[in-house]
Amino acid sequence: MLQLINIEKSFPGFRLHPVNLQIHQGEYYVLLGQSGAGKSLLLEIIAGITRPDHGRVMLDSKDISNQRINQRNIGVIFQDISLFPHMLVFDNIAYPMISRNIGKTEVRRRVDELSRALGVSHLINRKPDGLSGGESQRVALARVLATSPKLLLLDEPLTSLDVLRKDELIRLLKQLNQDGMTILHVTHEVDEALSLASHLAILHDGKLLQSGSPEAITRYPASPFVARLMEIKNCIEVIYQDAVGQYIAADNHAVVFHLPVNPGFRAGHLLIHQKHIRILEEPSAEKSFSATITDTSLTLHGLEITVDIGIPIVVQVPAEKLGPGKFLKGALIRLNFNLAQSRLIPIV
C-alpha cells in the first residue's frame, strides 16, 4: 500500500541514502534504528512534512510526493505527542473531524465512540496538561484515528511510558493492527520492535541495512551491526587458513573454529549467540575450549559471563547450571561452541 521509491535526502552532516521500502495492507511495519539513523526523517518524508531531494512516495499506487501534508490521509503521532494544550480532550479528538466539516452530532458520536474504544472517555472534559504519558498517548491515538487514516505513523510511541503502561499500549497497538490498521512504527528499542513487528526493517546511518520478518532477521542477521542489534554478543572476525583448513580468529591465530561446513570465503564475521555456547561439566572428547572467566553480569536472560579463550567471548549461563560459588571471576571452565547454530557473514 505504501511504497518508497529511491527516497534520498541530504543535510550537512547527514545523508539518507536511496531508501526503498514497501508496506503492505494490514502490516505492522517496524523501523528499527539508533538515534540519528534517519528514522524520524523518513517518517516526516512519508507524512509530508519534509520534502525528499529525490524519489517518490506512493500510497495505494498513487504518487503522493507532491501532495500537501493535510491532504495525504496519513495519521502521524510524533514523539512528543503534541496534544493541543488550549483545548479540552474532547476538542482535541474532534479537531480533525471539524477540519473535515463533519456535522456536530456526528462529531459528538465519533468522539464518544473513539474515547470509549481507547479508554479515555472519563478524561473528555479535561485539558491535556494534567494527563499522564499513557493517557496522552491514548488521546493522541483517538485523535489520529478520528481522521480514519489509511496508514498510521508512530514515532517512538512507547519511550515516555513506564513498563506497565508500555505493555498496555503494546496490547492496544496490536489490537488496532488486528482490526485492520496498517502501522509504521519507528523505534530504537529492540524488544519493542520484536514484540510488535510483523515486518522489521533496520535503518542505520541513513541506510536500510536489512528488512524481513523479525524471525528471519534475528536468525540470519545480514551484518555484524544487525547481529549486535539483535543482541548476538559474539561477533568474531575470522580468516580462513589453508594450512589448518579451518577458520581462525583474526585477533588470535591460535583460536581455531571447526565449522561443520566450509562456506568458501577467505574472511568473515562469525556470529555466535551467547546462548549457543555450552558449558561442559567435565573434560570430554568433544572439541572444547578452555576458558577463564574475566567478568560476570546479570541480565534479564540470566547470568552472562565474559570469558577469555584467547579472545573475549560472552556466554549465557543456563539457569540449571547456576549455584553458590560457581562462575566466579578468575575460575577456569570448558566451553563447547554449537557452531551448527552459528553464522558466518563474508567481509566484502
Partner 1 sequence: MYNFAYRCFYWQYKNLMLQKPSILYLAAIFLGGLVLLFLVAPLAGMVLSTTFPDLLSTAREADVTRSIWLTVWTSMLATVVFGLAAIPFSYLLARKSFPLKNLVKGIIDLPVVIPHSAAGIALLGFISRDSLVGKAASWVGIDFVGNPLGIALAMAFVSLPFLINAARDGFEAVPRRLERTAMALGASPARVFFTIALPLALRNIISGMIMMFGRGMSEFGAVVIIAYHPMITPVLIFERFGTFGLKYARPVAVIFIIVSLIVFILLRLLANKQKTNGGIR
Query: Which residues are at the interface with partner 1 (CB under 8 A)?
Result: 47-49, 68-71, 73-76, 78, 80, 82, 84-88, 91, 95-96, 99-100, 127, 143-144, 147
Compare residues 69 and 322 and give the one whose CB is closer to partner 1. Answer: 69
Backbone phi, psi, residue 41, to 5°: -60, -45
Question: Closest distance between partner 1 and the C-beta of residue 239, in Å?
Answer: 51
C-alpha cell at 209: 541495512
**Closest CB to partner 1 among residues 99, 213:** 99
Q: Which residues are 337's β-sheet partners? A: 277
β partners of residue 237? 269
Backbone angles phi, psi at 135, to 5 degrees: -65, -45
Nearer to partner 1, 104 or 219 (CB): 104
Sign of CA dihedral 140, 142, 146, 149: positive
Identify which of residues 35 and 297 has a Cβ nearer to partner 1 in the complex: 35
CB of residue 99 vs partner 1: minimum separation in angstroms?
A: 4
CA-to-CA distance for 30 and 220, rounded, in angstroms? 17
Nearest approach, Cβ of residue 58 and partner 1 (Å): 19
143 vs 199, beta carbon nearer partner 1: 143
Burial of 156 (0-12, 13-18, 19+ CB in 10 A): buried
Q: Shortest CA distance to 112 belongs to which of 142, 136, 133, 87?
A: 142
Indicate the residue among 92 and 177 with the shorter CB distance to partner 1. Answer: 92
Write down the least CB distance from residue 189 to partner 1, Å.
22
Q: How far is the CB of 152 from partner 1 (least distance, A)?
A: 11
Please state, in angstroms and rounded to a whole number, the distance separating the CA atoms of residues 106 and 24: 31
- The two beta strands, 54-59 and 28-32, are unpaired
Contact (Cβ atoms closer than 8 angstroms) between residue 54 and residue 7? yes
Closer residue to partner 1 (CB): 61 or 71 = 71
In the bound complex, what is the minimum distance in angstroms from residue 110's beta carbon to partner 1?
Answer: 14
Cβ at position 148, least distance to partner 1 in Å: 10
Residue 333 to residue 23: CA distance in whole angstroms: 48
Distance CA(88)–CA(104), nearest Å, equals 16
Q: How far, in Å, are 77, 178, 303, 320 from residue 323 at the CA level?
A: 48, 44, 11, 8
